[in-house]
Structure 1
Amino acid sequence: MEAVDILRRGRDHVGVGPVLHDGACDTLGFLVPPGTADAWDVPGSACTRTDGRGLRIPAEPPAAGSGWLLPPAEDAPVTDPAVLRAALDQAARLLEAADNCR
């Protein structure tokens, strides 16, 4: 959730696309461009390869028991992987710093 906050606070929300959540918000899913999984190596996360080329993002969440934390929008079809990587890195640093202050 920290990464989502970082992305939403970013300048003009550049690169922020739809975000799915499971019912308990324990797992978030960021929609990214096809091919992202080939080079994804962020610890603590996974990038699932799909055949999503040319598919439209549905208004209803595509997985049972999930919901849109950030719904699809015309101006941000998917999340920019570089922006997502930076937000995840920053979120990890913030959480580690908070843990060290306890």
Structure 2
Amino acid sequence: MEAVDILRLRVGVGPVLHDGEGDTLGFLVPPGTADDWDLPGSACTQTYEGGACTGRSEPPVTGTGWLLPPDAARPEATDPAVLRAALGEAARTIEAVERSSRPN
């Protein structure tokens, strides 16, 4: 969720999926992104061909729902380089908060 907030506040974020329990988020990225995705702690999976999801009411992955559904106000997909940077920043922020809350 930290990465979603970072993207929403700075550069914008495309549609985002969540699993039924809300433990996993899925950012829609351009087709072909999965071929070169290598960020530890994350995965990139191809869900469907074509890349267009604007106007879709049903999420492209079974068992998920929209955290941020596609609409005309958001781009179709989140830029992979921007997403990678936001995920890194979110991980560093969470780590810093956890470190500061540990007893000395």
Aligned pairs, number: 98
Q: Which residue of 2 aligns with 1:44?
A: 41
* 1:81 maps to amino acid: P
**In the alignment, structure 1 residue 81 sits paired with structure 2 residue 77:** no
Q: 2:65 matched to 1:67?
A: yes
- Taking the aligned partners of 1:7 and 1:18, their CA distance within structure 2 comes to 11
Q: Percent of pairs identical after alignment?
A: 64
Q: TM-score, normalised by structure 1?
A: 0.86
Higher gyration radius (CA): 2
Structure 2: 5+ residue runs without aligned partners? none
SS in 2 for 1:101: helix
More divergent stretch after superposition (67-76 vs 78-87): 67-76
Unmatched runs of 5 consecutive residues or more in structure 1: none
TM-score normalized with structure 2 length = 0.84
**Equivalent position SS for 1:20:** strand
Change (3 A) 1:65 1:38: closer
Task: For 1:28 and 1:51, locate their aligned partners in 2 and report how far apart those are by CA, in whole Å.
Answer: 17
Runs of 4+ off more than 3 Å = none
